[in-house]
Amino acid sequence: MDSLDFYNDKKWCAQCANYVPYLMSIEHSYCVECGAEVRLFSKEDWREFAADMASRRPKGAGKPMQGKPVAGEPQKPRTGRESA
């Protein structure tokens, strides 16, 4: 992987259809060549990056299992339907 620094950092400019040096403001970054707003990745590179990240995500992580007690957590008392 290339060693990146401030002077060699580049972002995608859709207008130039290339990775270009950019100027950064508080909210957006702009191409130094044409002045258009730039993005971190092209759409194709973004899809590839997102697919790679999704494949690395652990399976089953993120959602707690419903109805099964978790070790170390206190149990909630179960109450049935109360009738008058």
Q: With 0-12 CB in 10 A as exposed, 13-18 as middle and 19+ as buried, what is 38?
A: buried
* Residue pLDDT tens, the chain, 84 long: 455 677 889 999 999 999 999 999 899 999 999 999 999 999 998 898 888 888 877 776 566 656 666 666 666 666 666 665
The residues, any chain, with a CB within 8 Å of residue 56's CB and separated by 6 or more, are none
